[in-house]
Structure 1
Amino acid sequence: MAVPQRQTMRLLSQRLQCLSKPTVVRQTRSISSRYSNATKRTVTTAPSPTSHLHEQLSAGAGARNPLDVRAARIIDAEAKAHNLQRMRIAGMGLILSMGGLAMVIFNLDLDSIEQAEKQRKGGQQLDASDEGNARFQGKEVHVIGAGDGKRIVASGAGEQVELVETGTSSVPHFPRTIYLPSSTDPTRIPGVVGVAQPNADANPGNTANQEEYTLVGLGIRTVMWIQVYVVGMYVRTNDITALQAKLVRNVNPTASALIPSEKEDLKKKLLDPEESRAIWAELLAVPGIKTAFRISPTRSTNFSHLRDGFVSGINNRTSEARSLTQGGTTEYDSEEFGRSVQDLKAIFKGSNAPKGSVLVLSRDERGTLDVLYQPKPEQGDQAMERLGSLPDERVSRLLWFGYLAGAKVSSQGARDGIVNGCMEFVERPVGSVETMVH
């Protein structure tokens, strides 16, 4: 009997709502005039049908009949919407948590953790970064002096290398001078992958097939807050005088060195997006000076990631060049340049670049790009391999612009370090820096 009674009550509830008459509420309002007293004269008016309907709907919305089908549907839809919103918030929280976990894992230095664990088990309380700073490419590191006159050298096997601090414990030092194969080596076949002779103990210094390069400045490339690699710019020691002269004469054509105010003017130009492009375009004009970038990853990576960064820098510089022509054609719109960029991509293929390995991008006086790589520089007997060569000077020029010129460079720290190194060059008379290095 319970089911028929419930259906009867549901039918009666709808009919009772239709038959119930609303109570007529009479309102009074005062009408005042100059002939009557407003407090003594009132007019009774009935509520309008619109206001009565609004009150009835408001009362029905506030107290829905739980047996009403429409009310049940509304309640069900509201519950679904609430649950759906909670699911969306929970999903966003899950995605953020997974992204944060992935970021933490990516930033972990497994080598340092493993080394710290070994030290903990052995009962030694040592700083892993200090131990890493104690050696450079298999040689012991010594600090001579203190303050501004401090020198850092790595000694071993009858050889001594002067070092510069990088600012990160992952790759703590860079050499002040390096030796790279000469592009005039008669045994070299352009475009063919080969092995370049290293600066071995038995053949140190600037030999027939090796040329000395001096560090200009360095910095750390970061993506967001993650350190990717340390990069330093080198110039062939024999070309320092030419670099000095061009930098000085850009500000003062008759000077041999710059005074402090002129140095500030040059520094502003080298940091300006437009003027820096013009200055470095002149410095990298061919035939000209030889330069190189030395890159050492602060964490294990691969050539694909490095290649993508290089190509992205080239694309940014070509976009800037097109914007300067206001939509006109540039020297980078040809099919030949497109093929050269593809050849650059082909050089970096299918290999890992472990933490501390060395990648060198060198640019000769004709703008030819050479790519050299040494996976384990701590092993002095391991040669630096030449991965490939690219004769199109536009590719190397845009790669260099990616660190030196334009609005947004690949590493602002490296750009600042290189500019500061140039300031040290121009404050000395032209030709004196090259003599000091030798």
Structure 2
Amino acid sequence: MSAPTRQAMRFLSPRLQHLGRPQPSTSVRQIRHASGRYSSPSKRTVTTSPPSSSLLGPEAATAAQVQHNPLDARAARLAWVEKRHYHMRRMRFAGMGLLLSIGGLAMVIYNLDLDDIQQAEEERKRKRTGGLQLEAPDEANAMFQGKEVHIIGAGEDKRIVAGQGSEEVDLVETGTSHVPHFPRVIFLPASSAGQATVGTASPNSQDNPGNLGNNEEYTLVGLGIRTVMWIQVYVVGMYVRTKDISTMQEKLIHNVNPTASTLIPSEKDGLRHKLLDPEQSRETWSELLKTPGIKTAWRMSPTRNTDFGHLRDGFVNGINKGKAEHRQLMGPGSAESEFDSEEFGSAVQQLRAIFTGGKALKQSILILARDEMGKLDVLYQPKPEGSKKAVMERLGSVGDERVGRLIWLGYLAGSKVSSPSAREGVVQGCVEFASRPVGSVETRVI
């Protein structure tokens, strides 16, 4: 080897050794000082590429690729975890959508009222043929407390009666086939002492022989359906003792016009507005319920099997809502409310104790009766089985009139009531009462 060649190899050896070392990164930025030749700042930095693997050999190239590969094990793991989380989120959303779809379909099927569909079809057929329907269209509507139901006439003048002759009972359609009819008149015991049969039969009649305690007649004011979301829970109707209707008439009429004996159309609209207004309705009904001598009652019939616990929770929630609204009307910093006392709390506990255990089956009857002084009586009649008559029994009573008053206001007053349709029905009945002269009593209320 000639001398110039050996001299060149000595100069190249350090350079080859430097190239064989692993570089700290895939790119190295070298900064050059600015000169007149490079006036652009973007040309002041130069990026050099990594050395070619052909100069380092296969082992060095493999080590360099493993060290400098951006898709290393940690990065691959993170990418896999992120992708897995993405697909898990999609699976959860898809599963929730599937469950909601199945649940919604089940609720629709469960609440699909085939009886109403069949009844509507029968009504369309009757209108198409022009004939008069003399009997109820299906088996569910054909009987009422063991008596056969007949529909006499058609249109607004039709009558629905159960039984015949002196024992016939006038009925009102409720709007649901689960509990299709309510009686226009019921009879309740005059006293809360002892046990007495409560129903639609007059005292000491053929259907009610020897029962002289069941001697007070109550007339239906209005009714409606209590619903939770879209599920029907029970049909509820308000009754007033028939001989107290004149007192209620006078109170309702004088609430609008103190000197009138009946209301003209414009005044009837004013009464309707007062009974539907959230604030004025509370004042009107509170004054009416505090009037001594007026007996009222709520008759309830479940549209599906339930239990006393659910009914109790509904009544207690109504009481709590009434307390909150009363406190809101009093304003902050006011004195203690009449519903904050220990005596009232004990009375609510008595109401809770009445509804302990027990089932309330479909088409059974629960009555909340409020006497002249506001005492609350709770009575229950199970659904009759076959031809056997069911006897209504007294479950208990609460002496504090505030308990019954708040339950009544929960159905009749405020911005949100337990059953808007029931309030609308009661308001319509009250307007009908006030449209007749004081003292005229008509048992049929539409």
TM-score by length of 1: 0.77
**Separation in 1 of the partners of 2:444 and 2:184?**
13
The one-letter amino acid of 1:355's match is K
**C-alpha distance in 1, partners of 2:341/2:167?**
48
Describe how 1:6-405 pairs up with structure 2 within 5 A.
15=22, 18=25, 20=27, 44-46=40-42, 65=69, 67-93=71-97, 95-97=99-101, 99-100=103-104, 103=107, 107=111, 130-155=138-163, 159-183=167-191, 188=193, 194-196=195-197, 199=201, 201-203=206-208, 207-327=212-332, 328=334, 329-377=336-384, 379=387, 381-405=389-413
Task: Return closer, same or farther for 1:105/1:149 CA change in 2, 3 Å cut-off.
Answer: closer
DSSP 3-state at the match of 1:169:
coil
Q: Distance in 1 between matches of 2:316 and 2:415?
A: 17
Corresponding residue pairs, total: 376
Q: Distance in 1 between matches of 2:74 and 2:327?
A: 63
Letter in 2 for 1:319: A
CA separation of 1:159 and 1:69: change in aligned 2, threshold 3 A: same
- CA drift of 1:93 comes to 3.1
Q: How far does the alpha carbon of each residue in 1:222-266 deviate from its partner, in whole angstroms, 9 at most, with x for none?
A: 100001110000000000000000000000111111011000011
Q: 1:375 to 1:105 in 2, by over 3 A?
A: farther
Distance 1:79 1:292, change over 3 A: same
Secondary structure of the corresponding residue to residue 18 of structure 1: coil
Report percent identity of matched pairs.
63
Q: Which has the larger radius of gyration?
A: 2
Contact 2:253–2:434 at 8 Å: present in 1 too?
yes
SS of the aligned residue for 2:163 comes to: strand
Does the 8 Å contact 1:295/1:358 carry over to 2? yes
Evaluate the alpha carbon distance shift between residue 73 and residue 197 of structure 1 in structure 2; reply closer, same or farther with a 3 A threshold. Answer: closer
1:82 is aligned with what amino acid? Y
Contact 2:298 2:367 in 1 (8 A): yes
Contact 1:359 1:372 in 2 (8 A): yes
Distance across 2 between alignment mates of 1:79 and 1:47? 41
Contact 1:109/1:299 (CA < 8 Å) preserved in 2? Answer: no
The CA deviation at 1:83 is 3.1
Secondary structure of the 2:441 match is helix
- Deviating above 6 A after TM superposition, structure 1's stretches of 4 or more consecutive aligned residues are 108-112
Q: Are the structure 2 counterparts of residues 303 and 111 from structure 1 closer, same or farther at C-alpha, using a change threshold of 3 Å?
A: farther
Of 321-330 and 214-223, deviating more is: 321-330
Displacement of 1:110 in angstroms is 11
- Residue segments in structure 1 that go unaligned for 5+ positions in a row: 1-11, 25-41, 53-63, 113-127
Quote the RMSD (CA, aligned, Å).
Answer: 3.3
Shift of 1:17: 7.8
Q: Hey, what does 2:125 align to over in structure 1? A: none
Q: Return the alpha-carbon distance in structure 2 between the equivalents of residues 110 and 149 of structure 1.
A: 27
- Cα distance 1:377–1:402, how it changes in 2: closer, same or farther (>3 A)? farther
